[in-house]
Amino acid sequence: MNLKTLQRRFPRIQPIQIEPGNTELIHDDRLLSEFVSADMYAIQQGSWSAQILGVMNCATPSQMLALIDDVIDSHPDYTVGNNYAIVVSYERFHIEIPFGPDLDELRAGPGDYENLVNLLCLIYYYFPLDANFHFQGLDRPILADQPQHAPSWRFQPVASTNREQLITAVRGRQYIPFQQGVGISAPGKLMKFYTSGASHFTNHPGLGTVPGGMRFIDLRAWNGEDHTFTEQELGTIA
């Protein structure tokens, strides 16, 4: 898969950051991101790598499309002149899709939403962690028009690596939050971001200023072992 070639298919789509200076957080009960399970594996095939296989419950593609319609209808001051974008968000991945053919494709139906969001996760939620590892987040999380999603996260070597280098890379990622969101943005305006989390940012010790009201998988103490995470082990961002 050539990511650069795929990115050229979507020249106006880009991942964005959710920060206090650019975003108003709005809790919405229609959104959901619940932990079901997560299993982490350290893999040695010459170089070391790691993957986390997860299961979580989220609002379905149909429910997300209904929420997107409602957000667009609720903010005529943002949509005037069609100079706006919709943000779709899972975990720490927030992708901005401007008004136009790509947004039309997203909104065409549940199957189109599933296919486009899965593809955008593969293209844009992939980046270097350090000189030795790249991070592939979420993979293809949406399975169908159903609540159960199956994300995976991979720490992929790009050089010859050892176990200690893998541990450093995983710990450097710090955490994987359970979050689902829909936003609307327009030039000169704060993004309105509807989220399964809280309506505030939190200054979390160790993680910094992050959106509040979320549970998360804590990677900071991982020591290179295979591990099944439990509900009781999850961290909390108040």
In a domain, 136, yes or no: yes
For residue 19, is it within any domain? Answer: no
Position 7 confidence tier, pLDDT thresholds 50, 70, 90: confident
Q: What mean pLDDT is predicted for residues 19-31?
A: 98
Residue labelled with tokens 């319609």: 69
Task: Classify residue 114: in a domain, yes or no.
Answer: yes
Tell me the C-alpha distance between 225 and 188, whole Å: 47
Q: What was the pLDDT predicted at 8? A: 86
Cα 167 to Cα 73, 90, 204, 219: the distances in Å are: 46, 25, 23, 9
Output helix, strand, coil percentages for the chain, rounded to the nearest 5: 25, 40, 35
- pLDDT tens digits, one per residue of 97-119: 999 999 999 999 999 999 999 99
On whether residue 235 sits in a domain, the answer given is no
| Mean per-residue pLDDT, 43-47 | 95
Q: Is residue 5 part of a domain?
A: no
Cα dist from 93 to 103, 120, 161, whole Å: 17, 10, 26
Q: How far apart are the C-alpha atoms of 1 and 83, rounded to whole Å?
A: 32
Q: What domain range includes position 138?
A: 25-218
Is residue 13 in some structural domain? no
As for how many domains the chain has, the answer is: 1
Q: What integer pLDDT is reported at residue 53 of this predicted model? A: 99
Residue 91 confidence (pLDDT): 98
Residue 88 lies in a domain: yes
The residue count for the chain: 238
> Which of 30, 25, 55 minimizes the C-alpha distance to 202?
25
pLDDT at residue 1 above 70? no
Residue 3 pLDDT more than 90?
no
- What is the enclosing helix (H) or strand (E) of 158? none
Answer for the pair 111, 145: CB distance below 8 angstroms, yes or no: yes
What number of other Cβ atoms are within 10 A of residue 151's Cβ? Answer: 24
Average pLDDT value for residue range 116-126: 97
pLDDT digits (tens, 9 = 90+) for 174-211: 999 999 999 999 999 999 999 999 999 999 999 999 99
Question: Mean per-residue pLDDT for 132-146?
Answer: 98
Residue spans of beta strands (DSSP E) within 161-234: 175-177, 180-185, 191-195, 201-204, 208-211, 214-218, 227-229
pLDDT category at 80 given cuts 50, 70, 90 is very high
Q: What's the chain's average pLDDT?
A: 97
Residue 133 resides in a domain: yes
| Short-list 27, 33, 53, CA closest to 42 | 53
Using CA atoms, how far apart are residues 211 and 198, in angstroms rounded to an integer? 7
